[in-house]
Structure 1
Amino acid sequence: MSASGTERVTIVVSRHREAVALVAAETAGVEISVLCLAEDDREGRATLDRALKEAGRRGCQVGGAPRTVGAQESGSTAGLLRELRALRPHRVRLQDPDPVHIGYDAERDVPVYDVDPEHAAAALTALSAVRDHQLESGTPVHVTCHRADADEQLGTASGLRYPQTTHWLTEGFDGRLSAFLPSAAGVVRWTQSEPGGAAWRGPELLPGPRLMPGLRVVRDLHGFPHLFALRRTPLKDGGDDIAIVRATQYGTGRPLTPWHSLGSPNPGNRYRSRAIGFPAAAFDATGGLVVFARNFGHGVSYRQQGADGAWTPWQHLRGVRVADELVTVTTGRGEAELFARARDSAAVVRWYRTGPDGTWTEDRAVPFAPRPGSMAAGPEPGTLVFRDLRTNEPCLWWPGATAPVPLGGADGAGPVTGARGVEVDGWAYSLLIRSGSGGACAVGAHAEGRADAGVWWNELGGESVLVPAAVRDRTGLVTLATFTAGAQLAISHRESLSSGFDFGRWHTV
């Protein structure tokens, strides 16, 4: 937590009325400030004033009246940067810099949107200012970008432009752990000083290009973490191009490789390339890598790299149109599979194949409907964990199961992840980790392969503003990690290698 125990959240929008939904999403205990890049009419200002008063009644602290910065017309970030210096936010909420199109005007050759273009302009201006503020202050600032059409009843995760980062704590080739998280200015990293030790170094801002505020962390067969993100660059004829980029850490604590571009399913077009979804990736048993992304037409495209290092071109998977929620799993046979939430229904679609050269098969018979923003790969091979759309209860499913297995623990929000192979009195257990009530970290466990036998949940405190993470290292030690309201990494270790699920106190890095 910060010294005051309060998380400072700054909401930056185009006009006052656009902040209402984002203010409504904040929970008790946070300090809210609102910055607007242009003046609104009387009704818009009054609507926001009412939302802020309601936030105060439910326990938020309101840091004064909304302020108009005036950067919308000038394009300058100087005034916004001055405000950020004074507010020193831990987290910033923005509008969607790349809204989803609802149609296409063939005559003009442009997409059709149902949101004002100033939303995206405001988000890009604000993101630039927040990046500069983080570089100046040296403190990580977490940024979330929110779609205008999100269902407020389903929580903020349902409308995130970039998915929440899961599995961000990982063991390296030498047994030391690394934590990677996205921030306004790029990827930040914390590094464990010795295997199993309590000392860590960080946060360290890793060099690289200007990235959008999202991150995917995938570990290969040798234990090396690979990072996937989106990079935005200007086009010569105006507009921007967005490409998927990848960097790898081959030595714990050492510099990353350069960020290599994997291109885009819709490259070079100022409208189409901006619409790319956030990538998902997985390694298979041969060491091959497959990368998926939602394309401009709301289908799925993919590229794959063979064990010999050669890449295929982007290819398209025909089938159901999908939303911005793609999750990969690797089965017990070492085959990569993809799950995607449908765009026009509550369904989930699965793509699978036999072998790295097999033909992808679309499976529309997945028997569950997840809460948007809640799907994640489970701790056991081939499993998927999600929150039920109606009940919010975490559930587990694997191909071939007739129905998902409820896991209990319907409080909290966001994805559920975990680690397998946790030994207790000679038996192997799967450990689950999630946010609980009020954002506190909750840990559960079940006999490996027997989630239907029941999960025992225990709240450990350690409130996290991001999805908590867990790793079982090669010695059997289980380490938990959270990211506090004060932008610090917090760590807790399991007290025994072979009995119980007791964890030590949290300590911040």
Structure 2
Amino acid sequence: MEADRGVTSSAPAVPGSEIAAAADGGSAARSWLRLGRDGRLTAYASCADGLVRWTESAPGSDIWQGPELFPVEGWAGRFTLAQDSNGFVWFAGTRHREGAPGGRELIVATQYQTGRPLGDWRAVGNPFPERKREQGHAAERGQTRGQDQDQAQGQEQAGAESGAPLPPPGDPIVLPDGTGALHILSTRFGVGARGRTRRADGAWANWADYQGKWVRGAVVPLVTAQGRAEFLVTFRGGASYWGQDMPGSDFRWLGRMKADAVEGTYSAYETGPGTGTYFWRHPADGGVIAYRPQAPAGVSPALMPLGGAGGVGPVDVARTRIDGYDCTVLLQRGAEGYPEIAAYPTEGEQYGTWWAPVGDRCAGLPAISPDARGAVTIAMIDMDGGLLIARQDRTDPGLAFGPWCRVG
């Protein structure tokens, strides 16, 4: 594993136009607003040169530090992030490097404490180094367990086997489980999903194959409060479901679901002890769909509509108490580019939702997180590349917010 030196120090100034352009170009990570163990929120974005960060100066403060730039040589522009039980924030991205297989390699970095510099970006390799060899292996795996969806993709199969170049890999996903292990997952259409695990002792395993030859987009990760990790490998018309039996165990195939979804609109959140709910958009109208693979005994999983028609991209999700009730809060970028919010009793999708606009036009996806006091905080990047936040006003009934404040 190779470490980059001298690329993690921050620079003080980042042009807002670059941040806005990257966010509106689809480079904004999902769930890019995070609460640290010290009670401070941090917001993350991307620009042409690397990772950008804003940090609360104190818990609940409207004075933030940033934007700070953490440059990365060869930065491909997109990243994903996850937070483990210790509060560490893990990042995964892709960089271009001469001599790497296909000229690309996956990289990971860690922020161990709020406001502190990132650790070194480390290369973890490329799970899809050679197109011809991968096509041959994929064909041999075509009828393996969990891939009966491949039979429905005849036209796509013909295209992939005609010798046409494969599309580039999907965004790498970083997934920490409760044992201290870190899983890096990536996908490539025509090949499948692959992952590599760094154990708690720091040793890296080889790449593992999670099938899904006709996978579309990145895998959809979730880790429960107990530290058990799971993910979906999505394809046109559904997804394969993989998960651990317990934190630290190998991933195993848990089944398959059939559902139409807009590519790139999946997100996930733990809505009950050890139970995750997955969200995506239906292609008919862009409305949000919720689905729980682990339905109660004797109950078949169902697709549950939640409104939000016309919205774009994945929703961001949080849980909070509203008028004494445990509620799930959804935040989306609406059809006109404005943040829109909805809430409903957790796992009570049958009660329906009502979506309301909560701000001006934003660049990229808005984000949501509870703050140090448990108040829901929403964040957006405006069209000038500035960071704006609004906090829940808990003195009002229902889900009400105070005014937007530009903090960076």
TM-score, normalised via structure 2 length? 0.79
SS at match of 1:231: strand
User: 358, 383, 394: which is aligned to 1:485?
Assistant: 383
Structure 1 CA distance, aligned partners of 2:22 and 2:116?
28
Letter in 1 for 2:379: A
- Matching residue of 1:140: 18
Letter in 1 for 2:317: G
Q: Which moved more, 1:408-417 or 1:287-296?
A: 287-296
Structure 1 CA distance, aligned partners of 2:249 and 2:176?
14
- CA shift, 1:245, in A, is 0.8
Contact 1:408 1:455 (8 Å CA) reproduced: yes
SS at match of 2:232: strand
User: What per-residue deviation string (whole Å, max 9, x for no partner) do you get for residues 343-397 of structure 1?
Assistant: xx33222222313333521522x13211112111236351111001222110111
User: 159, 179, 200: which is aligned to 2:64?
Assistant: 200
- Matching residue of 2:121: 259
Runs of 5+ consecutive residues of structure 1 not aligned to the other structure? 1-134, 146-155
Contact 1:433 1:469 (8 Å CA) reproduced: yes
SS at match of 1:178: strand
- Matching residue of 2:163: none
Higher RCO (Cα < 8 Å, 6 or more apart): 2
User: 166, 177, 186: which is aligned to 2:30?
Assistant: 166
SS at match of 1:212: strand
1:301 aligns with 2:178: no
Structure 2 CA distance, aligned partners of 1:191 and 1:270?
45
Structure 1 CA distance, aligned partners of 2:356 and 2:103?
45
Contact 2:107 2:124 (8 Å CA) reproduced: yes
- Matching residue of 1:368: 259
1:440 aligns with 2:338: yes
- CA shift, 1:337, in A, is 1.4
1:243 aligns with 2:105: yes
User: 419, 430, 454: which is aligned to 2:328?
Assistant: 430
Contact 2:172 2:186 (8 Å CA) reproduced: yes
Structure 2 CA distance, aligned partners of 1:321 and 1:437?
29
Structure 1 CA distance, aligned partners of 2:80 and 2:14?
26
User: 315, 329, 334: which is aligned to 2:208?
Assistant: 315
Q: Which has the larger radius of gyration?
A: 1
SS at match of 1:463: coil
SS at match of 1:452: helix
Contact 1:192 1:201 (8 Å CA) reproduced: yes
Q: For the structure 1 residues 176 and 359, does the alpha-carbon distance in structure 2 shift closer, same or farther, using more than 3 Å as the test?
A: closer
RMSD across aligned positions (CA): 2.9
Runs of 5+ consecutive residues of structure 2 not aligned to the other structure? 1-12, 135-165, 296-300
Structure 2 CA distance, aligned partners of 1:452 and 1:296?
35
Letter in 1 for 2:68: E
- 1:82-231 aligned at under 5 Å gives the runs 140-142=18-20, 164-231=28-95
User: 295, 303, 310: which is aligned to 1:404?
Assistant: 303
- CA shift, 1:494, in A, is 0.6
- Matching residue of 1:413: 312
TM-score, normalised via structure 1 length? 0.64
SS at match of 2:127: coil
Aligned residues: 356
Identity of aligned residues (%): 30
- 1:38-53 aligned at under 5 Å gives the runs none
Structure 1 CA distance, aligned partners of 2:171 and 2:260?
21
SS at match of 2:68: strand
User: What per-residue deviation string (whole Å, max 9, x for no partner) do you get for residues 76-133 of structure 1?
Assistant: xxxxxxxxxxxxxxxxxxxxxxxxxxxxxxxxxxxxxxxxxxxxxxxxxxxxxxxxxx
- Matching residue of 1:452: 350
Letter in 2 for 1:391: D
Structure 2 CA distance, aligned partners of 1:491 and 1:226?
23
User: 344, 350, 353: which is aligned to 2:241?
Assistant: 350
Contact 2:28 2:45 (8 Å CA) reproduced: no
Q: Which moved more, 1:390-399 or 1:287-296?
A: 287-296
- CA shift, 1:291, in A, is 1.5
- Matching residue of 1:55: none
Structure 2 CA distance, aligned partners of 1:220 and 1:452?
32
Contact 1:386 1:415 (8 Å CA) reproduced: yes
Contact 1:379 1:417 (8 Å CA) reproduced: no
Contact 1:329 1:383 (8 Å CA) reproduced: no
Q: Which moved more, 1:209-218 or 1:271-280?
A: 271-280
Structure 2 CA distance, aligned partners of 1:396 and 1:136?
37
Structure 2 CA distance, aligned partners of 1:497 and 1:171?
22
Structure 1 CA distance, aligned partners of 2:276 and 2:292?
6
Contact 2:20 2:382 (8 Å CA) reproduced: no
- CA shift, 1:497, in A, is 7.0
Structure 2 CA distance, aligned partners of 1:222 and 1:330?
13
Letter in 2 for 1:418: V
Contact 1:462 1:506 (8 Å CA) reproduced: no
- CA shift, 1:339, in A, is 1.1
- CA shift, 1:263, in A, is 1.2
**Greater helix fraction, Structure 1 or Structure 2:** 1
Structure 2 CA distance, aligned partners of 1:268 and 1:348?
25
Structure 2 CA distance, aligned partners of 1:271 and 1:258?
32
Q: For the structure 1 residues 231 and 465, does the alpha-carbon distance in structure 2 shift closer, same or farther, using more than 3 Å as the test?
A: same
Letter in 1 for 2:170: G
